[in-house]
Structure 1
Amino acid sequence: MSNHLALITQTQSLIASGDIVGAEYALAELADTEGDHALMEVIAQLPAKDVLAVIREYDSSRDSVVNLLITPEQFARALVLEKQYKDLSHTHLRGMVNGIIFRDGADPLEFLEAIGDLEGGSEALANYFAEKWSRIEAFARTGHFDTIEDDGDLLSDDELRASAYVRAHITQEEVADSDWMELAWLLRYECRDLFIEMLLVLRAKARAHDLGLGEEEEAEEDDGKFETRDTDRGKATPVARDPDEESAI
């Protein structure tokens, strides 16, 4: 265990200095020498912010042993902190979500359920779909991703809840791209309440953007409704930043 404590300290030091490649290499070495179980023990002891610092650097051209071994619960805890990086393009967010949720042998629904169980999970998913908002709205309304089929009117909250239970017009196989379309399909037809919650948060973010509000002001938008909007899963709230949880940047 002392060796593991030393590795944890070394990994955190490397991450703090910005050497993410070095940190990942140190973790991979542990897996090579002591096996996957030892690495899983270390990942479980690392703060979520440090796990995030490693997994958000996902590169589709190579496998990361951390990405391959991280559990749904560990991934969810890291994911809700990703907003602290203030990456407006959400490129890293989409890369790590696709790379981990759709990794070989994984059950995407286990990851989605873990994300949905955490405060801030629906906001993380809304950020993931931010660049595809109109197509997600079309999907909610028509069951297809082509915005040409949508008349531009947003479904009301009640209509949105009802539409989530409509039979699928397209099969999962038709959108099995291990990317945003497949994730949206899984959410709508396998995690319906989370899909509704995510879309309500996404709408609130879109309204805040139209009003020129920044990240800190988004939760105040629409007379505070963003923080108190009810869904079947509870409150659609943004992640509450823990004052003791330092940014991993």
Structure 2
Amino acid sequence: MNHLALIEKTTSLIAAGDIVGAEGALAELADEEGDRALMVVLDQLAPKDVLAVMREYDSSKASVVNMLVTPEQFARAMVLEKQYKDLTHQHLRNMVNAVVFRDGADPLEFLTAIGDLEGGAEALANYFTEKWSRVESFARTGSFEATEDYGLMLSDDELLASGYVRPRVELDEIADQDWMQMAWLLRYECRDLFIEMLLVLRAKARAHDAGEGDDALEEESDGKFETSDTDRGKATPAARASDEESAI
């Protein structure tokens, strides 16, 4: 099967909700023609289709797509994840951990690619949604200890200065390939992105407390995705956003 035919087949399978079938078709290409051929196809697939496959897999359930997607391809897909309306963003967190911390990867390459895109800081804020108070504490104290979770929030000026504080914990102490390692890398290796992400996270927390939800922070467009469920394998949006990019 030539690459154009494979892209059409993969797109059709995803639109029909057959994510396993789509991933299988891509994996078959890698088996037959090698990893480079798959990477070429991933670059031609709509980012939403790449996302549709990636978010269904995590570290415990490997996908060849997650193992080979480039930082730029991943970032373009990741910024679209909010359109699934997954309130806990658990799929996002599992997907990010599986890709950014995969064997042989440089997490900073992925974080840089995410930060270079509009919506990248918001995607990272969504990743930390369930841990926002711990991340705020980490920004204030440099510690992940639960006893430090409560205290006055840093002002914006104090937050800007916080990135220059020496770490209280070393990276190898919290290298959990999860949110703590991600927060550490952002604060000490991608300072500007960490600050931007935390400001978005604060805004989301205020909106949540006010009962407004994330919709108060986002401009919704025509063709908004709708999901019937956020359980794995059931979060396939029902509508296409445009004729140029196929539905997730």
TM-score for both structures, normalised by structure 2: 0.87
**RMSD of Structure 2 on Structure 1 (CA):** 1.7
Which string of whole-angstrom CA distances, capped at 9 and with x for unpartnered residues, describes residues 160-208 of structure 1?
A: 0111110111000000000000000000000000000000000000000
Q: How many angstroms does 1:47 deviate by?
A: 0.3
Q: Distance in 2 between matches of 1:96 and 1:72?
A: 13
Contact 1:84 1:247 in 2 (8 A): no
Aligned-residue identity in percent: 74
Give the corresponding residue for 2:96: 97
Structure 2 counterpart of 1:15, which letter? I
Structure 2 counterpart of 1:161, which letter? L
Q: How many angstroms does 1:145 deviate by?
A: 1.2
Q: Distance in 1 between matches of 2:209 and 2:64?
A: 41
Contact 1:141 1:150 in 2 (8 A): no
- Residue correspondence of structure 1 range 45-64 to structure 2 within 5 A: 45-64=44-63
Contact 1:76 1:118 in 2 (8 A): yes
Give the corresponding residue for 1:87: 86
Q: Give yes or no for the alignment of 1:176 onto 2:159.
A: no
Q: Distance in 2 between matches of 1:35 and 1:104?
A: 18
Label 1:38 to 1:246 Cα distance change in 2 as closer, same or farther (>3 A): closer
Higher deviation after alignment, 52-61 or 88-97: 52-61
Secondary structure of 2:206's counterpart equals: helix
Secondary structure of 1:161's counterpart equals: helix
Q: How many angstroms does 1:218 deviate by?
A: 2.4
Give the corresponding residue for 1:194: 193
Q: How many angstroms does 1:152 deviate by?
A: 1.9
Q: How many angstroms does 1:18 deviate by?
A: 0.2
Q: Distance in 2 between matches of 1:87 and 1:70?
A: 22
Q: Distance in 1 between matches of 2:156 and 2:146?
A: 20
Number of equivalenced pairs: 227
Give the corresponding residue for 1:122: 121
Q: Distance in 1 between matches of 2:204 and 2:30?
A: 41
Q: Distance in 2 between matches of 1:20 and 1:113?
A: 28
Give the corresponding residue for 1:239: none
Which string of whole-angstrom CA distances, capped at 9 and with x for unpartnered residues, describes residues 90-130 of structure 1?
A: 11100100000000000000000000000100000000001
Secondary structure of 1:144's counterpart equals: coil
Contact 1:115 1:122 in 2 (8 A): yes
Q: Greater relative contact order: 1 or 2 (C-alpha under 8 angstroms, separation 6 or more)?
A: 2
Label 1:150 to 1:53 Cα distance change in 2 as closer, same or farther (>3 A): closer
Label 1:161 to 1:247 Cα distance change in 2 as closer, same or farther (>3 A): farther
Label 1:146 to 1:37 Cα distance change in 2 as closer, same or farther (>3 A): same
Q: How many angstroms does 1:62 deviate by?
A: 3.3
Q: How many angstroms does 1:151 deviate by?
A: 4.5
Gaps of 5+ in 1: 221-242
Gaps of 5+ in 2: 220-240
Contact 2:26 2:38 in 1 (8 A): yes
Label 1:151 to 1:216 Cα distance change in 2 as closer, same or farther (>3 A): closer
Secondary structure of 1:178's counterpart equals: coil
Contact 2:46 2:246 in 1 (8 A): no
Give the corresponding residue for 1:165: 164
Moved over 6 A (4+): none
- Residue correspondence of structure 1 range 137-156 to structure 2 within 5 A: 137-156=136-155
Q: Distance in 1 between matches of 2:246 and 2:122?
A: 18
